[in-house]
Structure formats: C-alpha cells, structure tokens
Amino acid sequence: MTAEPSRLVDSYGRPHNNLRISVTDRCNIRCVYCMPEQVTFLPRAELLTFEEIERFVRITLTLGIDKVRLTGGEPLVRRDLPRLVEKLAAIPGLRDTGLTTNGVLLAPVARTLRDAGLKRINVSLDTLNPARFQQLTRRPGLEQVIEGIIAAKDAGFDPVKVNAVAMRGSTEDDVVPLGKFARQHGLELRFIEYMPLDAGHQWEREKVLFAADIIAILERGVGPLLPAPDQDPRAPALDYEYVDGGGRVGFIASVSRPFCMSCNRIRLTSDGKLRNCLFSLEETDIRGLLRGGAGEAQIAQAVRDCVAAKWEGHEINTARFIQPDRLMHAIGG
C-alpha cells in the first residue's frame, strides 16, 4: 500500500504524527546538561505568537499530526500559556495536548491547565536532594517542583510522568530515592539517558548512565522489574513494571538503545524553525513562511519537505556525529 501523499512519511517509511512545540527559549533554572548560565535570549518579536502556533498546528493536522506537546525552555515562563493550551485543545482532531515542564511554576496553574484541556503532563526532576537539585539546576526550587507534581496529581492528570536525566558519576544516588518517591505517589518515572545537546559540549559517552545500569540499581534498591507486557513498539520509552505491582518505570535510552527507526516526531522551535530530529543540523524556516504571507499549501509542502529530508538516525554512536549548534533549551526537549 502506498502512503497517502498528504501524510508525513519520510524516505524510510516512518509516519509522523507527533509535533513538539517550544514556546520559549527562556528558563527559570539552569540545568548543567541543558543550558549555560549566561544566555542571550531571543527578543520577544522573534517568538511565534499563539495565533501563529495555532495556525501551524491546524496545517499540520491536515498532514496527520494529532499529538502536540508544549515544551521549551520552560513553557510555564511564557505568559498566558493556558490560553495557548485552550486554543489547541479546541482544534477538532487534535487527539492529545501535552506539556513538559520543570515544575517550578506548576502548582498554582496545574488546575487551570487541566481545565484548559491539557491531557498529559511530564515534570522533569533529577533528584530529591535539595543540595543536589541546586547543584544540577544552579537554582533553588525543589520544594516548588514537588508541590507542582502533587498539584498535577490533584488536578487529575493521570499518570503524572516524572523525567530524570541519567548521568554516570552524578545521578546514581538519586535513582533509588526517585524510584521510591514515584511508587509512593503513583507517578510514572522515566529516566532519560544524557544526550549530547549540552552547553560547552561536555558530553561524553562515558558520562551516560545507561538504562541497563539504572535497572540494576532499581532492582537492588527498590524491587525486581520486568519488561512491561503491553509495550508500544513506536514509543521512545522502554517500559518496565515492578514485579510486586508497584508501578512502572520507563527508560528513554537514546544512546544505548536508539529508537530512531520508530521516530514519529518533528519539532518547532520557539522562533519558528522546524526540525526533523533533535540532532538536526538543518532547519526549515516556518516563521518566515507564516509572516511572509505563505498559503496553507506552501507551508504544508515545507513541512513535507522537512520530514522527507529526515536522516536514518541521530548517529550519536558513530564517529560521524556532529553536535548541533542549538542547545537543548533552544530546541525544545
């Protein structure tokens, strides 16, 4: 069967239905693996407006995008974010609207976001130790993040996912406390292998704490795990379940087990550049089209061309790998 020409299928046959939208490059913390302390942020006029984002989402919907996730930078530092959520949630055919946040500003707006139509929420949290939090994020705020996670649960998000970046020689001691915390509060914990998108190009393969190591730490400190029986083969997370029924743990093993061949994602940066991979070296200027009077067909074609040009994989594990100039906070994780 040949793919419908209107669908976003790349030259390796991968269909794309998942759009990540960064709403800002600003952040209220400075995670060492993500962002330098000193950053020149984009001027406001360069950020896509909510109306431009909504128009773009409506166009991509005609191409098969039905899942959107808002990210950043820190999406909750963008003023009036619930208004964007409301606009997106009202688009017929958009199945899923999610948010990835560091949680610092979440508690007071969790219910508003839920009421605005947000379906899923992921909160990033690497440690439960206040001193380590300060060291990793270069800011205080652990208490607010925990309050945010609890507020998200209370607002009815289920599951609340907690994402922790896994760095060898750095986050091993945080694995078991996070595992126990997630079980206690009924959260879905996911470990993300540290990826080369960091400021100062400090990444080395030796600094990645692999999924297999984390599984061993959790089994020793929390309890036995087994691969989850109902895995979605297209999902980036490798899911495990505690044998005692105490919940699930996921692993985004981008380095030790790349999932590029089932990648269904494209990413729009806050300044309106479309990327077909976190690690792309090229971008498509959607903002230029949106502001330059381009019609829907022209914008849709630009999206198709961007997807068609997608590489086979990210090549982190090869000598050919080139780290993109854009850092994670400016792409949207």
CB of 150 to ligand SAM, least distance (A): 17
Contacting residue, 27, 88, 209, 268, with ligand SAM by CB under 6 A: 27
Q: 72-101 mask for ligand SAM (x: CB under 6 A)?
A: x-x-------------------------xx
- CA nearest 332: which of 19, 51, 118? 19
274, 267 Cβ separation under 8 angstroms: yes
User: Is residue 192 involved in binding ligand SAM (CB under 6 A)?
Assistant: yes
**Nearer residue to ligand SAM within complex by CB, 304 or 326:** 326
Residue holding tokens 């998942």?
18
Q: Quickly tell me which residue has 């400021």 as its tokens.
A: 199
Using the rule CB under 6 A, is 264 a contact of ligand SAM?
Answer: no
What is the smallest separation between the CB atom of 254 and ligand SAM, expressed in angstroms? 7
- How do 18-22 and 265-268 pair as beta strands? parallel
195 binds ligand SAM (CB under 6 A): yes
Q: Does 329 bind ligand SAM (CB under 6 A)?
A: yes
Q: Does 194 bind ligand SAM (CB under 6 A)?
A: yes
**CB 168, CB 209: distance < 8 Å:** yes
Binding-site member from 110, 155, 187, 197 for ligand SAM (CB under 6 A)? 197
* Phi, psi (rounded to 5 degrees) for 247: 115, -170
Residue 47 or 289: which CB sits closer to ligand SAM?
A: 47
Q: What does the alpha-carbon distance between residue 210 and residue 47 come to, in Å, rounded to a whole number?
A: 35
Toward ligand SAM, which CB reaches closer, 192 or 289?
192
Q: Which of 68, 49, 71, 59 is nearest to 330 (CA)?
A: 71
90 phi and psi, to 5 degrees? -85, -5
Shortest distance, position 33 Cβ to ligand SAM, whole Å: 4
Closest CB to ligand SAM among residues 64, 269? 269
- Cα–chain center distance at 285: 21
Interacting residue with ligand SAM among 24, 60, 97, 124 (CB under 6 A): 124
Contacts of 274 (CB under 8 A, 6+ apart): 266, 267, 268, 283, 284, 285, 286, 302, 303, 306
Tell the smallest beta-carbon distance from residue 333 to ligand SAM (Å).
3
8 Å CB contact between 282 and 230: no
Residues that bind ligand SAM (CB under 6 A): 27, 33-34, 71-72, 74, 100-102, 124, 163, 165, 192, 194-195, 197-198, 328-329, 333
